[in-house]
Chains A and B, each alone.
Chain A
Amino acid sequence: MKELERRSLSIARPVGPAAATAGPVILFTAGGVRFAVAADEVQEVRGGDERTTIRKLKGPEIIDFALQVGLGEGILERLLVLKPGDCALAVTDVERMASIPKVVSLPGLFRGVERQWYRGLLLLENEVVPLVRTEYWRKAFAADTLQGTVHG
C-alpha cells in the first residue's frame, strides 16, 4: 500500500514548464537576413517563375517583407502565401523546412514593434533566427498600419 502511495505521489509530482515549441518552420531570407515562419501558417510557396511580375500579381495582397522590417526594398523571388490566402510575404528565397525544438522569447528590452513582428527567436547552431508572427502581418496589412524600422 505504501509502495503504491509512493508511486502515485511520484507520478503526480508537477513537472517544470515545457519550452515553447515552434513545430516545423520554413526558413527564408529577405534583405540578406534569415527568418522563419511556422509551416502550418503558410498556405503555399510560389516559385521563381513569377519573379518578374511579383509586384503586379493578382490574388493575395503582397508585403515586401524586407522593406517592412527596415532592410530596404527586397529582391522578391518567392511568395509565402499565408493562410487563409489573402496575404503573402514576398521574400528573396525559401531555403528549407526545419523542425526547431525551442522558441526563445524576445528579451524584454526589445519593446518596439518587433514584439509584434516576431513570435520569438529560434536558436540554431550558429544563428539566431526571428520567428515571424503571421497574424500581425495579416492584420497590420489589412489595417494598413505597417511600420518600418532602422536598426538591426
Chain B
Amino acid sequence: MLLTLYREQFMDNTTRFVTFPLGEQRYALDSTQVIELLMPAPVYSFPHTMSSLEGVLVRRGKVIPVCDLREAFGHGPERSFYVVAQCNYLGRREVVAIPVTGDCQLVQGIRGESSGAVEFVNAVLHTGGRAYPLLDIDQIVARCIQPATVVAREAMR
C-alpha cells in the first residue's frame, strides 16, 4: 500500500520536471530526460572540432560531454550544477552535461502549449503559479553542437 502510494505520488514522471537557470532565465526539462545532477567537477578538455562542446566529465568510468550553452542562452553567474540529460542526436541516444548557473528544483506541473515559436522551447511548464519554458534538448544539441568547418591548415613539411 505504501509502495503504491509512493509510486503514484512520486514516480509519475510524466508530470515531473527539473527547473534550472540558464543565463538570465529559468527553464525546465522533463524529468524523464534528466539522468542526474552533478556538482561542479573538472572538465577535461582536448582538441576537437565541435562547437559548444568544452570537454568531458568523467563519471563512474564513463565520459560525458559538456555542452556550454552560454552562446545560445547568455552568460550568467558561475556554474553551480551540471544537468546530465539524455537526448537524441542523429538517431542515437546520447548523454550530455549542461552547466547551469543556480539551484535546480524538482517540481510537478502541467505541460502547456507554447504561445509562439521560441527557439529551443517546445512547450511551457506551469507550476506553482509560474510558467517556465520547457526546453527541447534534442533541438538544442542538434543546433548548438556542430562540427567546425575550418580551412585545412598546411602540413608542416
Q: Which residues of A approach B to under 8 Å, CB–CB?
A: 31, 33, 55, 61-64, 67-71, 73, 90, 102, 104, 107-114, 117-118, 121, 123, 126-130, 141, 144-152
Q: Please determine whether B44 and A127 come into contact, CB atoms closer than 8 angstroms.
A: yes
Q: Answer whether A67 and B156 are a contact pair too, CB < 8 Å, given A107-B64, A121-B56.
A: yes
Which residues of chain B are within 8 angstroms of A150 by Cβ–Cβ distance? 49, 148, 150
A-B residue pairs, 10 tightest by C-beta: A112-B147, A112-B49, A128-B44, A148-B153, A64-B156, A152-B47, A69-B47, A114-B48, A149-B49, A109-B65
The number of chain B residues touching the other chain, given as a range, is 35 or more
Which residues of chain B are within 8 angstroms of A117 by Cβ–Cβ distance? 47
A72 to chain B, nearest CB (A): 10
Q: Which residues of B approach A to under 8 Å, CB–CB?
A: 42, 44-51, 53, 55-56, 58, 61-65, 67, 89-90, 92, 94-96, 141, 145, 147-148, 150-153, 155-157
Q: Please determine whether B47 and A109 come into contact, CB atoms closer than 8 angstroms.
A: no
Q: Please determine whether B152 and A147 come into contact, CB atoms closer than 8 angstroms.
A: yes
A95 to chain B, nearest CB (A): 16
A31 to chain B, nearest CB (A): 8
